[in-house]
Amino acid sequence: MRNGIFSVARLETGYRPGPWDFARDEAARIDAHWRKCQAEKPKLFDGRVLLLRDGEFLNTAEGAVFRGDFFETDFRNFLAWRDFGFPDGEVYNCFSMAALRSRDGGWLLGEMGSHTATAGKIYFAAGTPDPSDIRGDKVDLAASVARELLEETGFTPEEAAASPGWRIVVAGQKIACMQQRFLDLSAQQACARAAKFIAADPEAELARLHAVRGVEDLDAVRMPDFIQVFLRDAFAASEASYPSG
């Protein structure tokens, strides 16, 4: 799958359980890596997560569609696969993100807490899909967005309305499915309210919210590449909408 940013009308993601050769073949190495990670960050939890195979973009009569099938594995396997440099190139970390925007145009991104696996990184509310997102033989990434938005920021899906369609950024073995959501608060109000929510939760995933208004606010070190790709594209589209002269 080629890298880039793409627009689709909808996602069609299924659940197809099956073994993962990487997890089986590298079990001893994975366990050693997990013990090291837990020694550094004791709050890491080895839950179950979903990873994607067979992702593809299709053109249909109803518009462009992204399709793929998820399988279930332990978080320790996912973490090792990521930290070992994604040795199985047929597998993708596909996740949905709440691309949250304030009333006055600021994009609202969370800074991950120090106890998390991605401490200090800055990106939209998101999480690797897990078994709670499985609906029969489907995986509901829209439900994952709504859950992560509420859990991380305290904003409900009802007060942060979703726009139709998705923007998808493919960056190596990462597939970020962005659902734009609009909050009827200024960026300052949103950050202040999120700060109260975060302070009230001793296990909060986020340390704080950041408002990003232009390329000068991008952090090349702490913002993953796929976030920078999405925001640069959004800023370029905004500038094109208001030509000078």
What does 47-83 look like in DSSP terms, one character per residue? -EEEEEEEEEEEEETTEEEEEEEEEEEEHHHHHHHHH
Residue-wise pLDDT for 112-145, tens only, equals 998 888 889 999 999 899 999 999 999 999 999 9
Q: What confidence tier does 241 reach under pLDDT thresholds 50, 70, 90?
A: low
Judge contact between 142 and 96, C-beta under 8 A: yes
Which tokens belong to 18? 């099956």
Cβ-proximal residues to 222 (8 Å cutoff; 6+ apart), any chain = 111, 120, 121, 122
**What average pLDDT does the segment 200-216 reach?**
93
**DSSP assigned state of 163:** P
Residue-wise pLDDT for 154-201, tens only, equals 999 999 999 999 999 999 999 999 999 999 999 999 999 999 999 999
Residue-wise pLDDT for 41-76, tens only, equals 898 899 999 999 999 999 998 899 999 999 999 999
Q: What confidence tier does 147 reach under pLDDT thresholds 50, 70, 90?
A: very high
Residues in the chain: 245
**DSSP assigned state of 159:** T
Q: What pLDDT sits at residue 240?
A: 58
- C-alpha 51/C-alpha 15 separation (Å) is 10
Q: What confidence tier does 17 reach under pLDDT thresholds 50, 70, 90?
A: very high
**What average pLDDT does the segment 22-35 reach?**
98
Q: What pLDDT sits at residue 88?
A: 96
Q: Which CATH number fits domain 4-241: 3.40.225.10, 3.90.79.10, 1.10.10.10, 3.40.50.1110?
A: 3.90.79.10
Nearest alpha-carbon partner for 206 in 133, 100, 130: 100
Q: What pLDDT sits at residue 243?
A: 47
DSSP structure string for 95-117: EEEEEEE-TTS-EEEEEEPTTST
Q: How far is CA 211 from CA 84, 187, 236, in A?
A: 32, 6, 17
Q: What pLDDT sits at residue 244?
A: 47
Q: What confidence tier does 239 reach under pLDDT thresholds 50, 70, 90?
A: low
For the chain, domain boundaries: 4-241
